[in-house]
Structure 1
């Protein structure tokens, strides 16, 4: 009789181990699927934030370019205005600058 109860206990332990393996497999599978979902959500969030950061950088770059263009246009306008005010003086200054650059390049 004791041999039969030992065999029954042995079978019960085997069944418990089998059930434990199945539970561990299910738990591992569930955990893995949850992690895949988390990784996918994280990847989507990173892409979204990267696009937003890129758009902000592009906008700041465009703003800086526009400011530089405006400053250049203003400088050209100011020079044109100065030349219109004193055309003879402007021609003399350009001649002297040309002579100076020529002398520097002769060396």
Structure 2
């Protein structure tokens, strides 16, 4: 009788260990699936934030280019206006600048 009780205890422990293995396998799979989901959502968030940052940088770059273009156009317009107001002085300044550059290049 005692041998039968020991055999029953052994079988119960054996069944409990098998159940524990199965539970551990399920837990491992659930954790792995959860981590895959976390990694996937993290990757999506990083991609979204990267796109937002790129769009922001692109917008700021476009604004800077437009400001530079406007400043360049204004400078050209101002120079044209100065030349129209004082054509003789402008020609004289360009002539002197040409002589100066020529002398510098001759050296």
* Cα offsets for 1:61-98 (capped at 9, x unmatched): 00000000000000000000000000011001100000
> So what's the TM-score if we normalise by structure 2?
0.98
Stretches (4+) displaced over 6 A: none
C-alpha distance in 1 between matches for 2:33 and 2:103 = 78
C-alpha distance in 2 between matches for 1:15 and 1:41 = 39
Which residue in the other structure is 1:32 paired with? 32
Which residue in the other structure is 2:74 paired with? 74
Residue segments in structure 1 that go unaligned for 5+ positions in a row: none
* Cα offsets for 1:17-41 (capped at 9, x unmatched): 0000000000111111111111111
Which residue in the other structure is 2:18 paired with? 18
Which residue in the other structure is 2:62 paired with? 62
Which residue in the other structure is 2:83 paired with? 83
Question: Aligned-residue CA RMSD in angstroms?
Answer: 0.6
* Cα offsets for 1:37-68 (capped at 9, x unmatched): 11111111111111111000000000000000
Which residue in the other structure is 2:2 paired with? 2
Residue segments in structure 2 that go unaligned for 5+ positions in a row: none
C-alpha distance in 1 between matches for 2:100 and 2:19 = 96
C-alpha distance in 1 between matches for 2:63 and 2:9 = 80
